[in-house]
Amino acid sequence: MMLRLGPKGMMAIGAGLLFFGAAAPFLMILRIWETSFWLSFLSYAASISGLVIGFLGIFLYIRIHRRD
């Protein structure tokens, strides 16, 4: 069963991924989380995917609510 997300859901997931991608390095700098290659890579991947998913949600929202 496939989960169908609307544009607001995509923007929320994108924002969550972007927040994790920014918070994880900050927590590594503060030495709350131990720095590792995999955590750094996960943080980078979350930032990029959150940016892409968020922009897709914004574009979809504009496409649905456009008034011509």
Could you read off the pLDDT of 13-68 as tens digits, one per residue? 999 999 999 999 999 999 999 999 999 999 999 999 999 999 999 999 999 988 76
DSSP 36: -
pTM of the model: 0.86
Say which amino acid occupies 23. A
Cβ proximity of 61 and 14 under 8 Å: no
Q: Is residue 2 part of a domain?
A: no
> Which domain, by its residues, includes 59?
7-65
Cβ proximity of 62 and 5 under 8 Å: no
| Diameter over CA atoms, the chain | 52
Q: Is residue 1 part of a domain?
A: no
Structural domains in the chain (count) = 1
Q: Is residue 20 part of a domain?
A: yes
